[in-house]
Amino acid sequence: MEWLRTVHDFQIVGFPIPLFPTPVALATLILFLWSVAPAVKGRVSMGFLVWLRVTWAAFLVPAVIGVILALGGLKVPSATNAGGGLSKYGYPVDPSRDLEHWMYAAFTLLTLYVIEVLVKGRMIEHRMGLKYLPLATLFLYGCAYMIGRVAVFPGSTPGT
């Protein structure tokens, strides 16, 4: 169980800017930057599709492990009292952050599916769908970033 927690809690360290605190956030940020080319060109490259699959893997590995940990009764660190009413990161405990963590994970999963639909040209004309790709990937990055943020920092309702 400790190994699962270690894999799930992996964060990228050593970067001076906190734009991508987790591998999922980094993968989605790269996907966002890369999505401009298909939107402009009107076609998707094989490299973009490969990176989309890497992003799926970067999301699904911690997501599946997170479900296993949740079934074991664990909650995100910002919602868990490590002693004295503080989380393991030294911030006030905020139990509502656990549900927010799940919400952002669900938005990420849904957005990855929408990106697949846009890339494949289903339910919307292909070239028109590609024009929405940067917007969808930016939303995806925001959700991936917030997954890590809500796991660490308290929200506006600590202690309730």
Domain count, the chain: 1
Distance between start and end Cα atoms, the chain: 28
Express each pLDDT in 78-87 by its tens digit: 888 888 888 8
Q: Tell me what pLDDT residue 58 has.
A: 92
Residue 158 falls inside a structural domain: no
pLDDT band at 14 (very low <50, low <70, confident <90, very high): very low
Average pLDDT, the chain: 88
Which residues lie closer than 8 Å to 151 by C-beta, 6 or more apart? 76, 77, 78, 97, 101
Residue 160 falls inside a structural domain: no
Residue-number span of the structural domain to which 88 is assigned: 1-152
Cα separation, 84 vs 116, whole angstroms: 45
Residue 90 falls inside a structural domain: yes
